[in-house]
Amino acid sequence: MIDLYYWTTPNGHKVTMFLEEAGIPYNIIPVHIGKGEQFQPEFLAIAPNNRIPAIVDQAPADGGAPLSLFESGAILQYLAEKSGQFLPADVRGRAEVMQWLFWQMGGLVPMAGHNHYFVQFAPDPIDYAITLYVNETNRLYGVLNKRLADRAFVAGDSYSIADMAIYPWIVPHARQRQKLEDFPHLARWFAAIAARPATVRAYARAAEINVQPTVSGDAKSVLFGQTAKTIGQA
C-alpha cells in the first residue's frame, strides 16, 4: 500500500496517473496547500521541502520499515522500479525515458510554473516577465512537438513515466497562453493520454478531493512568498 500525500496540482496528478496505470493500491492523504497544511510538522517529516506530492511505501522491496519519498520525479522513478512498469530495463530505453523526465523537471516545470504565477497570480502585471515565460513555455512546447513528430510517446513507442510527468503540465495550456493547434504532434499525444482510462480515473480523484480549485486571495498569501521561517528555520 502506498500512502500518497497529495493535492490537485500538476505534480500531484503525475503520481495518481502512475498509480492508476500500474494498479498499485494507494491511499490519498489530502494536503490542502491553500490552507498551509504543507507546513505542518508531520508533513515536513516526510517532505522537508514542504511540497506535494510525497509518498510513504508501507511495504518496500527490502522488507524493512516504511519508506518515505518526496519530489515527484523521484517518486515516479521509485514506483516504476518497484513495479517494473513504465521504465525500460535496457540501458538505452531507460536513458531515453530518464532524460525526458529530467527535461520535464528541470525545464517545463519551472518555466510553466513561472508562467502560471506571472500570468495568473502576481499582484501586479509585469509585462517583461509575462512575455519571457510565455515565450519560453512556447519554446518548450515546440521542443516537445518536434520530439513527437515520429513517435507515439516521448521516449518511443511505449508509454512511460516521462509522459506521465509531462502531461499534467500541458493540461493548463490555455492558462499558459498556448494553443495546442499550433503543435499538431503534441496535440495528438495529448489527446491520446487524456483518453486513457487511468488518466480519466486519476483526474476524477482530483475532482473528488478539491471541489473549489480556484486559488483564493487567502490561498495566494500562503502559496507565495514564504521564507525559511515558515518551516521553522532561522
Q: Does domain 91-196 have CATH number 3.40.50.300?
A: no
Same fold: 2-85+199-218 with 91-196: no
Distance between CA atoms of residues 26 and 23, nearest Å = 9
Q: Are 17 and 202 in contact (CB under 8 A)?
A: yes
Q: Where are the domains of the chain?
A: 2-85+199-218, 91-196
pLDDT of residue 224: 53
pLDDT at 212: 67
CA dist 171 and 16 (Å) reads: 15
Write down how long the chain is.
234
Question: pTM of this prediction?
Answer: 0.91
Q: Which residues of the chain are under the pLDDT cut of 70?
A: 212-234
Fold of the 2-85+199-218 domain:
Glutaredoxin (3.40.30)
pLDDT of residue 191: 98
- The rounded distance, in Å, linking the Cα atoms of 152 and 137 is 22
Q: Which residues contact 89 (CB under 8 A, 6 or more apart)?
A: none
CB 141 within 8 A of CB 183: yes
116 with 123: CB under 8 angstroms? no
Nearest CA-CA partner of 71 in 57, 50, 96, 89:
50
The pLDDT value recorded for residue 34 is: 85
The answer to whether the beta carbons of residues 147 and 103 sit under 8 Å apart is: no
Give me the phi and psi of 230, to 5 degrees please: -60, -35
pLDDT tens per residue across span 207-228: 999 876 556 555 555 555 666 6
Q: Note the pLDDT of residue 123.
A: 86
